[in-house]
A and B are shown apart, each in its own frame.
Chain A
Amino acid sequence: MVQIVQFTLNVNPCLTTSYTTQSVIQPVNYSLGDPTFAFGSYRFEQSPACGYSEVVQLTGLPSFVTHNAASRSFMLTKTEDFAFVQTF
């Protein structure tokens, strides 16, 4: 005699409930003519860590500062241009 038990397996999407960051990027003080340097490593956390792909948007970044998406940090390139004397 053969008995069959049948059941279902539901594969559901991972439910990330919070998306936060503990990273703090300290204010960058740059004097015109100083050498190029990297700064501002950051990280965002998903909880639970479902690994959804992030879309990073940057606003107000001056042209002499570039964002490195791969390393999640920034590069400030040496400039001597007085037009940049301000707070961004």
Chain B
Amino acid sequence: MSQISVPQDNSANPIYKVLRSQIPFEIRVTNPCLSSVLEAFSVDNIETSVFGQRVEESLVTRVPADSVSRRLGDHSGQTYCGGRQFRIKSSGHESFLGYNPSLMLLTLLSTNKNDVGSVRVTIEAYLSEYPSVVTSTTFTATITACSVASLQPTTTPDQRYDVNNPATTFTINPFTQVPNCESPVTYQVFMSSDNLNFSGLPPWITRNLMQLRVATSDFSLIGIYWLRVTATVV
């Protein structure tokens, strides 16, 4: 607003009055982050097997810069427009693919044989304070069939049979699969009288699945025998 003081009349000692005029105008300050552009980023494909190891992929180093933060603030591309975060946009893989926002960590873990296959996952990066500023990429999450990494033997205690006595039976303890794929396992049992040379079971030891039956009246068989169980994942 501007004002001037002017006389009201032509007298020698005029009374003054004030005339005013004004020019209103607006200054609209906008936040450039709202129209910033996030740079492209990538996420590596990720793979594990059913009952396999948990696979993790950190996205900390994948956080994309944005155009305004490249130009303003410390010019790092990461700070002026504030923090940024990821979110998974695709669906159908929630049971085995997870994302921890606080750690920016993708995790892949499957405990279901039905997970086997590959899915294309869409993941977005966005400015935390300006969620409409988004960029996205895709990666593949693959679940392969369960694969037994090792078979852990389970000890079967030593057994005793007295010749010419009623038959004795004992059970071979099944081996433990790691991971537990519940895959079929075949067992073979061999015997040795010297703990060196093993061969198939003699007629006086019969096997029904995991059960062994010992029965003989032949006193010449008295001695110590070593039984060896071999397990094979089919």
Contact = CB atoms under 8 A, between A and B. Distances in A.
Interface of A: 10, 12-16, 18-21, 23-33, 40, 42, 44, 46, 50, 52-59, 62, 65, 76, 80, 82, 84-88
A31 B30 CA distance: 5
Given A13-B10, A16-B19, A25-B23, A30 B30 contact: yes
A27 B25 contact: yes
B20 interface: yes
B73 A80 contact: yes
Name the prevailing secondary structure of the B interface residues. Answer: mixed
A57 B27 contact: no
Contacts, number: 107
A72 B136 CA distance: 49
Interface residues of B, number: 29
B2 A86 contact: no
Interface of B: 1-7, 9-11, 14, 19-23, 25-32, 68, 71-73, 80
B68 to A, nearest CB: 7
B27 A87 contact: yes
A88 B72 contact: no
Nearest to B72: A33
A16 B27 contact: no
A10 B1 CA distance: 34
B23 A87 contact: no
